[in-house]
Amino acid sequence: MPTAEDRLGARTRALRDLARMRRAAAAARGQPRGAMAAALAQIEAAFGEAAAINDFKIRVERLIRLGPHRPAARARFGVRVAMLSGRDLDAATALVERWWRDERKAFQIASAFGSAPRLSLEILRELRLILRLARFKRREAEYRSALAALCEVPIAAAVE
Protein backbone atom coordinates (compact mmCIF):
# COMPACT_ATOMS: atom_id res chain seq x y z
CA MET A 1 0.00 0.00 0.00
CA PRO A 2 1.57 3.28 -1.06
CA THR A 3 1.99 5.82 1.69
CA ALA A 4 1.44 9.55 1.52
CA GLU A 5 5.23 9.87 1.40
CA ASP A 6 5.30 7.75 -1.79
CA ARG A 7 2.58 9.81 -3.46
CA LEU A 8 4.27 13.06 -2.49
CA GLY A 9 7.65 11.73 -3.61
CA ALA A 10 6.41 11.16 -7.16
CA ARG A 11 5.06 14.70 -7.39
CA THR A 12 8.16 16.28 -5.91
CA ARG A 13 10.42 14.27 -8.22
CA ALA A 14 8.49 15.52 -11.26
CA LEU A 15 8.58 19.08 -9.94
CA ARG A 16 12.34 18.84 -9.30
CA ASP A 17 12.78 17.57 -12.86
CA LEU A 18 10.86 20.55 -14.23
CA ALA A 19 12.82 22.97 -12.02
CA ARG A 20 16.10 21.44 -13.25
CA MET A 21 15.10 22.09 -16.87
CA ARG A 22 14.14 25.69 -16.07
CA ARG A 23 17.40 26.32 -14.18
CA ALA A 24 19.42 25.00 -17.13
CA ALA A 25 17.59 27.31 -19.53
CA ALA A 26 17.97 30.31 -17.20
CA ALA A 27 21.70 29.68 -16.78
CA ALA A 28 22.19 29.49 -20.53
CA ARG A 29 20.34 32.74 -21.24
CA GLY A 30 23.31 34.78 -20.03
CA GLN A 31 25.57 33.28 -22.69
CA PRO A 32 26.38 35.06 -25.99
CA ARG A 33 24.09 32.83 -28.10
CA GLY A 34 21.10 33.69 -25.87
CA ALA A 35 17.87 31.98 -26.89
CA MET A 36 19.52 29.18 -28.86
CA ALA A 37 21.82 28.30 -25.96
CA ALA A 38 18.87 28.39 -23.57
CA ALA A 39 16.84 26.09 -25.82
CA LEU A 40 19.72 23.64 -26.24
CA ALA A 41 20.36 23.62 -22.47
CA GLN A 42 16.69 22.96 -21.77
CA ILE A 43 16.59 20.13 -24.33
CA GLU A 44 19.71 18.58 -22.79
CA ALA A 45 18.14 18.84 -19.32
CA ALA A 46 14.88 17.30 -20.56
CA PHE A 47 16.39 14.42 -22.52
CA GLY A 48 19.82 13.87 -20.97
CA GLU A 49 21.00 10.98 -18.83
CA ALA A 50 19.74 12.52 -15.58
CA ALA A 51 16.29 12.99 -17.11
CA ALA A 52 16.21 9.36 -18.28
CA ILE A 53 17.09 8.11 -14.79
CA ASN A 54 14.53 10.41 -13.23
CA ASP A 55 11.88 9.24 -15.70
CA PHE A 56 12.63 5.63 -14.76
CA LYS A 57 12.24 6.43 -11.06
CA ILE A 58 8.93 8.22 -11.71
CA ARG A 59 7.70 5.16 -13.67
CA VAL A 60 8.63 2.82 -10.81
CA GLU A 61 6.99 5.12 -8.25
CA ARG A 62 3.83 5.02 -10.41
CA LEU A 63 3.92 1.21 -10.45
CA ILE A 64 4.25 1.17 -6.66
CA ARG A 65 1.42 3.68 -6.32
CA LEU A 66 -0.91 1.60 -8.52
CA GLY A 67 -0.28 -1.44 -6.34
CA PRO A 68 0.06 -5.17 -6.92
CA HIS A 69 -3.66 -5.88 -7.36
CA ARG A 70 -3.82 -4.43 -10.85
CA PRO A 71 -3.87 -6.88 -13.76
CA ALA A 72 -1.08 -4.93 -15.47
CA ALA A 73 1.21 -5.47 -12.47
CA ARG A 74 0.34 -9.17 -12.39
CA ALA A 75 1.06 -9.49 -16.10
CA ARG A 76 4.32 -7.57 -15.84
CA PHE A 77 5.78 -9.08 -12.68
CA GLY A 78 3.71 -12.21 -11.97
CA VAL A 79 6.05 -14.86 -13.37
CA ARG A 80 9.19 -13.40 -11.83
CA VAL A 81 7.53 -12.77 -8.47
CA ALA A 82 6.18 -16.33 -8.38
CA MET A 83 9.80 -17.51 -8.49
CA LEU A 84 10.46 -15.38 -5.39
CA SER A 85 7.79 -17.18 -3.40
CA GLY A 86 9.07 -18.41 -0.05
CA ARG A 87 11.97 -15.95 0.12
CA ASP A 88 12.29 -13.03 2.46
CA LEU A 89 12.94 -9.51 1.18
CA ASP A 90 16.74 -9.72 1.49
CA ALA A 91 16.97 -13.03 -0.36
CA ALA A 92 14.54 -11.84 -3.04
CA THR A 93 16.56 -8.67 -3.58
CA ALA A 94 19.77 -10.66 -3.96
CA LEU A 95 18.14 -13.11 -6.37
CA VAL A 96 16.63 -10.37 -8.54
CA GLU A 97 20.02 -8.61 -8.56
CA ARG A 98 21.60 -11.83 -9.87
CA TRP A 99 18.85 -12.24 -12.50
CA TRP A 100 19.37 -8.64 -13.63
CA ARG A 101 23.15 -9.07 -13.97
CA ASP A 102 22.70 -12.30 -15.97
CA GLU A 103 20.05 -10.73 -18.19
CA ARG A 104 22.24 -7.69 -18.79
CA LYS A 105 25.12 -9.93 -19.93
CA ALA A 106 22.77 -11.85 -22.22
CA PHE A 107 21.46 -8.56 -23.62
CA GLN A 108 25.00 -7.37 -24.37
CA ILE A 109 25.77 -10.59 -26.21
CA ALA A 110 22.50 -10.49 -28.14
CA SER A 111 23.13 -6.82 -29.02
CA ALA A 112 26.43 -7.79 -30.59
CA PHE A 113 24.54 -10.14 -32.92
CA GLY A 114 21.83 -7.57 -33.66
CA SER A 115 18.78 -9.03 -31.94
CA ALA A 116 18.34 -7.94 -28.37
CA PRO A 117 14.85 -7.86 -26.83
CA ARG A 118 14.87 -5.30 -24.04
CA LEU A 119 11.57 -6.02 -22.24
CA SER A 120 12.88 -8.67 -19.86
CA LEU A 121 15.77 -6.44 -18.85
CA GLU A 122 13.43 -3.51 -18.19
CA ILE A 123 11.08 -5.62 -16.08
CA LEU A 124 14.00 -6.87 -13.99
CA ARG A 125 15.33 -3.34 -13.69
CA GLU A 126 11.96 -2.14 -12.35
CA LEU A 127 11.56 -5.11 -10.00
CA ARG A 128 15.12 -4.61 -8.76
CA LEU A 129 14.45 -0.97 -7.86
CA ILE A 130 11.12 -1.81 -6.21
CA LEU A 131 12.73 -4.46 -4.01
CA ARG A 132 15.71 -2.29 -3.16
CA LEU A 133 13.38 0.54 -2.19
CA ALA A 134 11.23 -1.78 -0.05
CA ARG A 135 14.36 -3.10 1.62
CA PHE A 136 15.73 0.39 2.25
CA LYS A 137 12.43 1.53 3.78
CA ARG A 138 12.12 -1.72 5.77
CA ARG A 139 8.77 -2.70 4.28
CA GLU A 140 8.85 -6.46 4.76
CA ALA A 141 5.07 -6.58 5.42
CA GLU A 142 4.27 -4.71 2.19
CA TYR A 143 6.61 -7.06 0.33
CA ARG A 144 4.76 -10.10 1.72
CA SER A 145 1.33 -8.69 0.82
CA ALA A 146 2.48 -7.71 -2.69
CA LEU A 147 3.98 -11.16 -3.16
CA ALA A 148 0.70 -12.76 -2.14
CA ALA A 149 -1.33 -10.43 -4.37
CA LEU A 150 0.85 -11.01 -7.43
CA CYS A 151 0.94 -14.78 -6.92
CA GLU A 152 -2.78 -14.86 -6.07
CA VAL A 153 -2.02 -16.63 -2.82
CA PRO A 154 -4.27 -15.71 0.08
CA ILE A 155 -2.47 -14.17 3.03
CA ALA A 156 -2.75 -16.26 6.17
CA ALA A 157 -4.28 -14.22 8.96
CA ALA A 158 -2.26 -14.03 12.13
CA VAL A 159 -4.03 -15.80 14.96
CA GLU A 160 -3.10 -14.88 18.48
Same domain, residue pair 20 and 76: no
Residue spans of alpha helices (H) in 30-155: 35-47, 49-66, 71-82, 89-112, 119-136, 140-151
Model confidence pLDDT, tens digit, residues 103-131: 999 999 998 888 778 888 999 999 999 99
- Same domain (yes/no): 114, 92: yes
Distances (CA, A) of 159 to 49, 75, 145: 50, 32, 17
41 and 120 share one domain: no
Contact 127, 93 (CB under 8 A): no
115 and 84 within one domain: yes
Which pLDDT value is given to residue 160?
A: 36
Same domain, 75 and 131: yes
Please say whether the beta carbons of 25 and 45 come within 8 A.
Answer: yes
> Which of 33, 66, 99 corresponds to the end of one domain?
66
Mean of pLDDT over the chain: 81
- Examine the domain organization and report whether 48 and 111 are in the same domain: no
Give the pLDDT score at 26: 74
Residues 52, 125 contacting (CB under 8 angstroms): no
How many CB atoms are closer than 10 A to CB 55?
Answer: 15
One domain, residues 101 and 30: no
Which of 118, 136, 127 minimizes the C-alpha distance to 64? 127
- Overall number of domains in the chain: 2
For residue 108, what are the domain limits? 68-155
pLDDT of residue 30: 67
pLDDT at 7 over 70: no
Out of 14, 34, 66, a domain closes at: 66
Confidence band of 100 (pLDDT split at 50, 70, 90): very high
User: Does the residue 160 lie in any domain?
Assistant: no
pLDDT at 97 (0 to 100): 95
As a whole number of angstroms, the distance between CA 124 and CA 26 comes to 38
Answer yes or no: pTM beyond 0.75.
no
Q: What does the pLDDT read at residue 1?
A: 46
Query: How does residue 86 score in pLDDT terms, banded at 50, 70 and 90?
Result: confident
Looking at 44, 66, 88, which one is the last position of a domain? 66
Q: Do the domain assignments include residue 142?
A: yes
44 plus 118 within the same structural domain: no
